[in-house]
Amino acid sequence: MNGKIRYVVGVSSLVLALSISAPPARAESGQERQTDRQDARDTRQTGRDASRDVKAACKEGDNSRAECRQHKRDVKHGARHAAHDKKTD
């Protein structure tokens, strides 16, 4: 009986020591994911700003309102794709 108890205590001690010394893998991957998401948000915000500038420049020209709206939409669409690419890479 003493041999069995020593074995269980030894295995338990080993498991405890390994679990304490092992770095948390999820915390690092969580931080990386958070950074990726923030980069994607920044890319989308840059796309919004750029689309406003494109629309303003378009309105100053001889383009119709529908054409300006389409140009703005194209710029925002490109920014969304770029943000998605950053998140998935």
Look up the domain containing 58 and give its range: 35-89
Confirm whether 28 is domain-assigned.
Answer: no
62 Cβ contact partners less than 8 Å away, ≥ 6 residues apart: none
Which position has the token pair 């020593």?
A: 6
**pTM given for the model:** 0.55
Profile the chain (89 residues) by mean pLDDT over runs of 10 residues: 66 64 61 86 88 89 88 88 77
Number of compact structural domains in the chain: 1
28 Cβ contact partners less than 8 Å away, ≥ 6 residues apart: none
**Contacts of the segment 74-78: beta carbons below 8 A, 24+ positions apart:** 75/47, 75/50, 75/51, 76/47, 76/48, 76/51, 78/47
37 Cβ contact partners less than 8 Å away, ≥ 6 residues apart: 87
Confirm whether 62 is domain-assigned.
Answer: yes
Confirm whether 72 is domain-assigned.
Answer: yes
Residue 24's pLDDT is: 58
